[in-house]
Amino acid sequence: MRRIYFLLPTPQCAHLIVNELLLQRVEWRHIHVVANRHTVLDGLPTATLAQRSDLLPSLARGTAVGCATGMVMALLALAFPPAGLPIAGGAVVTITLSGAGFGAWAASMIGVDVPNTRLKRFEEGIERGELLMMIDVAKDRVHEIEDLIKLHHAEAHLEGEDPTIPAFP
């Protein structure tokens, strides 16, 4: 799958394109629209929190850092046990997993409020009132969909494509 990006001037244009995409058998769940907070997106497939924010990359980084930190702390506790408290393998695993869980939780709380870094290049257009449409299609249909939209909607600006869509957008 590849993700195609278009900037559209109005919600009406977005509605027309969504209808054409549905007729071309692009599923609703593969169409995502992002707009500024003043634009009404009734009847359009809005982007999810995971697509609008940096939630999933932050979650992955937080899990990795938390796991590493938890493991270091567990190994330090194993090497230098507190007086009267035996530390064994189960405690090492528990401390490591607790660190991973805490890291994931803390990083996801931060990532929810951070805009998606893949969408940073579109922020100016979105703030001007344009709508960003992201369309996920099979690699062999990219040019077909691009040509369809350019042919029927000259006001839609093709902004490129991602080589592959992320496994967890």
Please give the CATH number for the structural domain made up of 2-53+116-162: 3.30.70
pLDDT by residue (tens digit) across 88-108? 889 999 999 999 999 999 999
Q: Could you tell me where in the chain the CATH 3.30.70 domains are found?
A: 2-53+116-162
* Residue 129 · residue 36 · CB < 8 Å: yes
Give 48's contacts (C-beta < 8 A, 6+ positions apart).
32, 169
118-136 pLDDT per residue, tens? 888 999 999 999 999 999 9
Q: With b meaning 16 or more CB within 10 Å and e meaning fewer, what string describes 62-78?
A: bbebbbebbbeebeeee
pTM: 0.77
